[in-house]
């Protein structure tokens, strides 16, 4: 079961009971914050919720001080974190198919640019640029081999073509390394950001990151934008 946490009219989560215990221990959630699941009729203090569930409330040394300030995006609209790219993930998939993946390359670059804005220390963008450069080199190398074949030169009869195949092998390894690097760096930085400065409780699957990367991130960006919009609406209504 998951719970929303309310503090000063702002909603955070959803979190599991284990999340609440951990965040109370680190100071991200106060025992006096209110929590509620979809099945609960009323909001309860986190301390009471943990006690009712049998979960132990982590000991804290008074005074209890949270380890983060309330996210600027929710309390200071004049200087918010920029929202993630919000094109529906289904459209990202469709446009990628229609353009044979070219759209995905461009859109992934938009994602890493956004991440660089919210996490200035992010290095994902540099790995992504390296990935794109190697992809371009690989395409150029492949076109060179095709040109030789078009002139009737066998790859096994031309030293130039053999060198091209060796180069292609190294480039392919480089593409794999840079692709995995930027994907998992993004995963780590997204989880850090959305469990820290903007505590939405984001969790990302390593398997889904490995296979789907930008498309998988975009699915969560759509969800994050919905949560942020809902928070702004509730804040405006208070």
Give dist(CA 214, CA 95) in Å, integer.
13
Q: For domain 3-67, which CATH number applies: 3.40.1130, 3.30.1490, 1.20.1330, 3.40.390?
A: 3.30.1490
User: What's the pLDDT at 84?
Assistant: 95
User: What's the pLDDT at 93?
Assistant: 96
In the chain, CATH 3.30.1490 covers: 3-67
Give dist(CA 236, CA 232) in Å, integer.
6
User: What's the pLDDT at 78?
Assistant: 39
Q: What is the pLDDT of residues 65-90, one digit of tens each?
A: 443 333 433 443 334 789 999 999 99
Is this structure's pTM higher than 0.75?
no
User: What's the pLDDT at 52?
Assistant: 75
User: What's the pLDDT at 6?
Assistant: 80
Q: What is the pLDDT of residues 26-50, one digit of tens each?
A: 777 788 778 888 888 777 787 887 8
With 0-12 CB in 10 A as exposed, 13-18 as middle and 19+ as buried, what is 48?
middle
With 0-12 CB in 10 A as exposed, 13-18 as middle and 19+ as buried, what is 23?
buried
Give dist(CA 208, CA 152) in Å, integer.
43
Give dist(CA 1, CA 6) in Å, integer.
17
Task: Decide if 69 contacts 61 (C-beta within 8 A).
Answer: no
Which parts of the chain register pLDDT below 70? 8-9, 54-79, 144-162, 164, 233-238
């Amino acid at each position: 079961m998951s719970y929303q946490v309310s503090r000063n009219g702002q909603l955070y989560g959803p979190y599991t009971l284990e999340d609440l215990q951990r965040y109370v221990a680190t100071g991200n959630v106060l025992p006096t914050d209110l929590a509620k699941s979809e099945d609960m009729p009323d909001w309860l203090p986190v301390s009471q919720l943990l006690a009712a569930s049998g979960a132990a409330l982590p000991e804290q040394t008074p005074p209890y001080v949270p380890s983060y300030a309330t996210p600027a995006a929710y309390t200071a609209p004049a200087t918010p974190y920029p929202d993630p790219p919000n094109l529906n993930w289904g459209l990202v998939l469709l446009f990628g198919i229609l353009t044979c993946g070219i759209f995905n390359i461009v859109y992934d670059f938009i994602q890493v640019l956004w991440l660089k804005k919210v996490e200035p220390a992010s290095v994902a963008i540099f790995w992504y640029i390296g990935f794109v450069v190697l992809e371009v080199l690989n395409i150029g190398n492949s076109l060179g081999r095709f040109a030789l074949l078009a002139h009737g030169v066998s790859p096994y009869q031309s030293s130039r073509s053999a060198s091209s195949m060796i180069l292609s092998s190294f480039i392919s390894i480089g593409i794999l390394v840079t692709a995995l690097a930027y994907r998992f760096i993004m995963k780590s930085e997204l989880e850090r950001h959305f469990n820290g400065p903007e505590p939405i409780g984001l969790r990302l699957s390593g398997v889904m990151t490995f296979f789907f990367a930008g498309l998988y991130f975009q699915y969560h960006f759509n969800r994050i934008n919905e949560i942020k919009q809902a928070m702004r609406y509730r804040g405006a209504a208070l």
